[in-house]
Each structure stands twice: as C-alpha cells, then as structure tokens.
Amino acid sequence: MKRILLVATVATFTMGFAQANGASDYASGGCASCHGATGVSVFPTYPNLAGQNAAYTVKQLKDFQSGVRQDPTMNAIAPIVAGHEQAIADYLSQQ
C-alpha cells in the first residue's frame, strides 16, 4: 500500500512539475493525500501543516531529506520536493 502510494506520488509530482509554485507543488507532491488539501490533516495521526511557520516547515523537510529527522514515510517523500521546500512552506503558512 505504501509503495503504491509512493509510486503514484512520484508520478503525479513529475507531471505537475512544469508550473512550480507552492500550491501546485504541494498538490502534485501528493502531500494532500495525507496532510489534507489545505494542510489540515486527513488522519488524526498525521500532523496538520496549515498555518505552520514557514521556516519550521522548510527545516523539517530538509531534516527528513538528510535523515536528521527519522520517519519512514517522510524520509521517502521529502526528497521528491527538493528545491521546492520554501514554496510549499510559504503556501502552507498562509492556509
């Protein structure tokens, strides 16, 4: 299940990559399937991202990418949005 979701996430993100902005990066990154369309989480065990400080969100994404912060799901997903951390974080901070 997790593997299927990841493949779908990568495919969707690659297709949506041409027009890069925070909202579309977030949507096409597949983030909404867990964190909700506007960053209000779909599942009670997943964190809300809406309204979060952008600098904090950027740091978490980079920490997931480097492995400083460990979570099997996010360690796999965060690298997909490399280079788009700030745009996504700005979008989420404004929700």
Residue 87 touching ligand HEC (CB under 6 A): no
Which one, of 41, 43, 44, 11, lies nearest residue 28 by Cα? 11
Q: To the nearest whole angstrom, how small is the minimum distance from the Cβ of residue 31 to ligand HEC?
A: 3
Distance, CA of 95 to CA of 40 (rounded, Å): 9
29 in contact with ligand HEC (CB under 6 A):
yes
What is the per-residue binding string for ligand HEC in 42-61, x denoting contact by CB under 6 A?
Answer: ----xx-x-------x--xx
Question: Residue 55: CB partners within 8 Å, gap ≥ 6?
Answer: 89
Least gap, CB of 26 to ligand HEC (angstroms): 6
Buried b (16+ CB within 10 A) or exposed e, 82-91: eebbebbbeb
Note the residues at the interface with ligand HEC (CB under 6 A). Answer: 5, 9, 29-31, 33-35, 46-47, 49, 57, 60-61, 71, 73-74, 77, 80-81, 88
